Structure 1
Amino acid sequence: MINGKVALITGASQGIGAATARELSKHGASVVLLSRNKENCENIANEIRASGSEALAIKCDVSIFTEVNSAIQEVVEVFGGLDILINNAGVIEPIASIRDSDPASWTDSVSINLFGAYYMVKAALPFFGNAGVIINIGSGAANKPQEGWSAYCASKAGLSMLTRSIALEIPSKKIRVYGYAPGTVDTQMQDKIRASGVNPISQIKKEDHWKPETTCKLIAWLCTEEAIDLSGEELSINDKFLRQRAKI
Structure 2
Amino acid sequence: MLLKDKVVIISGVGPGMGQALARIAAAEGASVVLAARNQAFLEEVRNDILAKGGRAIAIPCDVSDETQCVALAKDAAAEFGGRIHGLVNSAYYHGDWSFIENSDLADLTRAFDVNCLGALRLTRACVPYLRDGGAVVNVSTMATVRPYGGEHGMEMGYAVAKGALNTLGKYMSTDLGRFGIRVNTCRMGWIHGEPVEGHIQSQVNAGFKRDDVIAGITRDIPIGIIPPEEDCARAVLMMISDYSRVVSGASLDVNGGHWMAP
Question: How far does the alpha carbon of each residue in 1:120-176 deviate from its partner, in whole angstroms, 9 at most, with x for none?
Answer: 111111111312010000111222333422211211111111110011112359421
Question: How far does the alpha carbon of each residue in 1:9-68 deviate from its partner, in whole angstroms, 9 at most, with x for none?
Answer: 011122111101111111110001100111111100001011111111111111111111
Distance 1:112 1:2 in 2: 27
2:188: which partner in 1?
182
Contact 1:173 1:231 in 2 (8 A): no
Distance 2:27 2:88 in 1: 16
Distance 1:126 1:88 in 2: 20
Distance 1:26 1:172 in 2: 31
Instruction: Kindly tell me the number of residue pairs found equivalent between the two proteins.
Output: 235
Change (3 A) 1:106 1:226: same
| Secondary structure at the counterpart of residue 57 of structure 1 | strand
Amino acid at match of 2:217: I
1:21 lines up with 2:37 in the alignment: no
1:137: which partner in 2?
139
Q: Which moved more, 1:6-15 or 1:226-235?
A: 226-235
Distance 2:226 2:78 in 1: 39
Amino acid at match of 1:165: Y
Amino acid at match of 1:185: I
Question: How far does the alpha carbon of each residue in 1:184-230 deviate from its partner, in whole angstroms, 9 at most, with x for none?
Answer: 1124554687769xxxxxx627x942221111111222222222333
Aligned pairs for 1:1-248 within 5 A? 2-79=3-80, 80-147=82-149, 148-172=154-178, 174-187=180-193, 189-190=195-196, 204=217, 208-238=225-255
Distance 2:230 2:165 in 1: 23
1:91 shift after superposition: 2.6
| Secondary structure at the counterpart of residue 229 of structure 1 | coil
1:101 shift after superposition: 2.6
Distance 2:139 2:91 in 1: 8
The TM-score, its normalising length taken from structure 1, stands at: 0.86
Amino acid at match of 1:175: I
Amino acid at match of 2:63: V
Contact 1:91 1:189 in 2 (8 A): no
**Percent identical residues:** 27
Question: How far does the alpha carbon of each residue in 1:98-120 deviate from its partner, in whole angstroms, 9 at most, with x for none?
Answer: 32233322221111111111111
Q: Which moved more, 1:51-60 or 1:217-226?
A: 217-226
Greater Rg by CA = 2
Distance 1:165 1:222 in 2: 17
Distance 2:254 2:131 in 1: 29
Which portions of structure 1, spanning 4 or more consecutive aligned residues, are displaced by more than 6 angstroms? 191-196
* Unmatched tracts of structure 1, length 5 or more: 197-202, 241-248
Amino acid at match of 1:140: M
Distance 1:208 1:91 in 2: 26
Change (3 A) 1:41 1:133: same
The TM-score, its normalising length taken from structure 2, stands at: 0.81
Q: Which moved more, 1:146-155 or 1:27-36?
A: 146-155
Distance 1:144 1:173 in 2: 34
